[in-house]
């Protein structure tokens, strides 16, 4: 199918994000958890994942990686968001931010598209202000 790209992921949130940004494309999802290198560089992670994805599906495909950076904490937790949430949790991150005036943070995305010959990159940056307390409500 023309304008169809395989998205190799097990993360439905990443699929929704890609569909929001690329409304004119149809994504076919191949549910698979790709290996992820230990890195805080989302381009490096997306590159490794899309290369692995292409080897699996042998068709044009994408992989997406994201990070979260808190300016006051020198960019922590970067690409290690899930690890940070599993270890210190949201309350731990809020504790690190106590009495900090600089509340700037950003979610960053790197989407890698592999057509079998080249890898193309698309970036998104979503600046925010860090909250002072978490109520547990999304």
Report all structural domains of the chain as residue ranges with CATH numbers, in order of start.
4-129 (3.90.950.10)
Q: What is the pLDDT of residues 55-82, one digit of tens each?
A: 999 999 999 999 999 999 999 999 999 8
- Distance separating alpha carbons of residues 58 and 85, to the nearest angstrom: 34
Catalytic residue among 35, 40, 41, 65: 65
Q: How confident is the model at residue 2 (pLDDT cuts 50, 70, 90)?
A: low
Look up 86 and say whether it is catalytic.
no
How far lies 4's CA from each of 19, 53, 57, in Å?
A: 12, 15, 13
- Mean pLDDT across the stretch 88-95? 92
């Amino acid at each position: 199918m023309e304008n169809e790209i395989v998205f190799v992921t097990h993360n439905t949130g990443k699929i929704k994000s890609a569909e929001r940004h690329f409304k004119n494309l149809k994504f076919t999802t191949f549910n698979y958890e790709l290996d992820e290198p230990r890195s805080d560089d989302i381009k490096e992670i997306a590159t490794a994942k899309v290369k692995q994805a292409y080897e699996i599906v042998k068709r044009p495909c994408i992989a997406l990686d994201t990070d979260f950076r808190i300016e006051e904490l020198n960019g922590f937790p970067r690409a290690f968001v899930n690890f940070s949430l599993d270890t210190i949790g949201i309350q731990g991150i809020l504790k690190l931010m106590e009495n900090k005036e600089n509340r700037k943070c950003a979610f960053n995305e790197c989407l890698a598209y592999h057509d079998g010959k080249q890898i193309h990159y698309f970036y998104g940056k979503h600046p925010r202000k860090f909250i002072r307390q978490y109520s547990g409500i999304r």
